[in-house]
Chains A and B, each alone.
Chain A
Amino acid sequence: MAQVLGEERELRRVIGDGDAVADGEVAGLSEADLVALFRDLVLLRTYDERSVVYHRQGRIGTYAIFWNHEAMQAGSAYALADDDWIFPSYRESAIGLLRGMPPETILSWWRGHPAGWWNPADYNVASICVPIATHVPHAAGLAWGKRLRGEDAVAVAYFGDGATSEGAFHEGANFAAVMRAPLVLFCNNNYWAISTPLPAQTRAEALVDKAAGYGMPGIRVDGLDVLAVYEATRDAVERARAGDGPTFIEAVSYRAAPHATADDPKAYIDLERVEEEKRRECVGRYEGYLKRLGVLTDAQAEQIRAEAADVMRAGIAAAEAEAPADPGLVFEHAYADPPPQLAADLAELRRILGGSRG
């Protein structure tokens, strides 16, 4: 029987404010690690900001913005080994960048082009889960299945505060606990599920309280503090790899951007609070920390930003250079061994299209 740790209600924080709140540090992170984390943050931030622009320019479709979620994504992903699996929701659509996935792949996904659908086994990054929370059981199953095979891998499932109301979250969390699956349940609590605020989502005082109900430990962390997120995830991953089962992490933030490009939050959001959140956004906060620590100069930071901008320029160019998808792909990949009717349907479509494509 796994030992049940009490959940932490106090927000874990490492980064200070350069004033009254002193900076802490995370043991085991080298200066190179600290800069690498900054590079990840900047890459995600650049991806997100450019994507909003690309959407406005009509170059990608509707896009789910993750501005100011970068610390939660980069911090947690940095605590993983390459063999560990990531199960993203649409809010983490670009997390594959941290696993070497080219930006054109993810941009193609948002462009609705087949080149945007990757093989999860290539990156150990599952497909973007569009419905809410239904990937939590997948992550539990993968983690459990790896453990049964004697493999070392851990899985992380990302989901939002609204997802904790879904049955799939409950079933996945409970399965993971019962099977002692090496899973990290990473909740990015940004307070909003589109327009529904957290108090309309749950009567729990804190989402981390849910952990106790599953017999697993919970950690509550400042979601804008990349180092605290990293450390919390590292603790959860170590516990999972040691065979002690899943951990629930609640990373607390506040959504300072629209839910997606199709959303106008002015109708429901607290605009003053949004401005406050923008002032303490996670990338700038970490940049200030690194500069106070003396491991990052202005020139280095600019260099890293310029590199990320180049990556995105090349990414959108590559995505836009993709040849138009063959309509025949409509019939591909759904089955390994398709029912014969699909071949007849494809033949008919080709005849009607004039046989000009493919």
Chain B
Amino acid sequence: MAEKLLVEAINECFHVELERDPDVMVLGEDVGRAGGVFRATAGLRDRFGPDRCVDTPLAEAGILGTAVGLCMAGWRPVCEMQYDAFSYPCLDQLITHVGRYRWRAGGGMAFPITVRMPYGGGVRAPELHDDSPEAYYVHTPGIKVAIPSTPADAKGLLAAAIRDPDPVVVLEPKLHYRTLRGEVPDGEHIVPLGRARIAREGTDVTLVAYGSMVPLCEQAADALAGEASAEVLDLRSLKPLDEDALLASAGKTGRVVIVQEAPRVAGFGAEIAAVLAEKAILDLRGPVLRVTGYDVPYPYWQIEDAYMPSVERVVDAARRLLAF
């Protein structure tokens, strides 16, 4: 166990998984010579060679499309999309092929593709370096989605994604690549998909979050200390979703605030709210509230803080719910 930055944990995962399984290969823009624009893949090209850590042409749909063929040839490709919003060209491949090919093949072929990308705002970056596109991926049949919030989970969920027999999209909170440090187990470390984590125990209200919103919710829980005991539930994977953990926490506190950075309408928070409406209605003591980004393009970075869910907005929602 050693203390590591979140991006260092991802890098360590790659070194472990490429060493463990000779079929795992990494491909993406600038992942080889540069080691990735965030250095998530640093050292892989030198250690495993340019055929297992491949600098590709600048073509996101081509990266994911060739990954489909690489699977057919027996590889286990891990594709990097350089930024969240740069992944949109690959949605075509994701929707029309990656999520469907196993089904098309009658289950006869496996497509164990991992697509990982830095996501989210708060990093004072130009346009289209700040998006939270998880809903597009979760909505796509055949695709699983994981979003870590800690360095240990960043390593463990990526390892689970790489080993998973199905395509998995992993969104990594870029805001915390180099601002979040934590204990990371050495060697092989797996966090199974579909198991949520209680980041903070509480009894009065549940703050449901994932990725970069988890540390924010922990701060909100701190801010509420003395007036309410807030539980923070870190979903870790959106598909499969750990409904048991969600319903258990909602059953315990009776109050749920969902926090997501993505725009509100048809965001993943709406899915959580629907699950609660279907399966926890008698446990709830008030409405399910959402704190989200707004239904506008991610804003100019000088005023991005007004868009991002804040501790104040989360605390405000929790107080409204407690007073209901």
Question: Residues of A at under 8 Å CB distance from B?
Answer: 85, 114, 117-122, 126-127, 131, 134-146, 148-149, 151, 155, 167-168, 171-172, 174-175, 178-179, 332-337, 339-341
Contact = CB atoms under 8 A, between A and B. Distances in A.
Interface stretch (B54-62, B122-130, B259-267, B290-298): B54-62
A336 B112 CA distance: 10
Contacts of B70: 141-142, 144-145
A134 B96 contact: yes
A199 to B, nearest CB: 27
A167 B89 CA distance: 10
Contacts of A335: 102, 142, 144, 166
A87 B240 CA distance: 32
B75 interface: yes
On chain B, which size bracket covers the interface?
A: 35 or more
Contacts of A135: 97
Given A137-B93, A334-B141, 14 more contacts: A120-B105, A120-B109, A121-B72, A127-B105, A135-B97, A137-B65, A141-B68, A145-B73, A146-B73, A172-B65, A179-B66, A336-B102, A337-B165, A341-B241
Given A148-B51, A337-B165, A340-B240, A138 B66 contact: yes
Contacts of B102: 333-336
A154 to B, nearest CB: 12
B65 A120 contact: no
Interface of B: 25, 51, 56-57, 59, 61-62, 64-75, 89, 92-93, 96-97, 99-110, 141-142, 144, 164-166, 194, 239-241, 243
Nearest to A85: B72
B166 A120 contact: no
Contact of A119 (B75, B89, B105, B141): B105
Contacts of B65: 134, 136-138, 140-141, 168, 171-172, 175
Contact of B69 (A139, A333, A341): A139
B61 A119 contact: no
Contact of A178 (B57, B96, B164): B57
Given A168-B92, A174-B57, A175-B62, A334 B68 contact: no
Nearest to A171: B62
A336 B51 CA distance: 27
A336 B110 contact: yes
A259 B180 CA distance: 57
B32 to A, nearest CB: 13
A149 to B, nearest CB: 6
8 contacts: A131-B96, A134-B92, A140-B62, A144-B66, A149-B74, A175-B57, A178-B56, A334-B99
Nearest to B193: A337
Contact of B109 (A119, A148, A151, A341): A119
A171 B75 CA distance: 20
Contacts of A334: 99-100, 102-103, 141-142
A155 B69 CA distance: 10
Nearest to B112: A336
Contacts of A137: 61-62, 64-66, 68-69, 93
A171 B61 CA distance: 7
Nearest to B237: A339
Which 10 A-B pairs have CB atoms at the shortest separation, nearest pair first? A141-B69, A137-B65, A145-B73, A119-B108, A141-B66, A171-B62, A336-B165, A142-B69, A339-B240, A333-B107
B134 to A, nearest CB: 15
Contact of B67 (A141, A143, A148, A167): A141
A137 B110 CA distance: 17
A175 B164 CA distance: 26
Contacts of A172: 62, 65-66
Contacts of B56: 175, 178
Contact of B105 (A117, A138, A139): A117
Highest count of chain B CB atoms <10 Å: which of A118, A136, A145: A145
A149 B76 CA distance: 13
Highest count of chain B CB atoms <10 Å: which of A137, A149, A168: A137
Nearest to B240: A339
A99 to B, nearest CB: 15
Nearest to A177: B57
A143 B65 CA distance: 12
A334 B99 CA distance: 7
Contacts of A145: 69-70, 72-75
Given A137-B93, A142-B70, A145-B69, A114 B62 contact: no
Contacts of A131: 92, 96
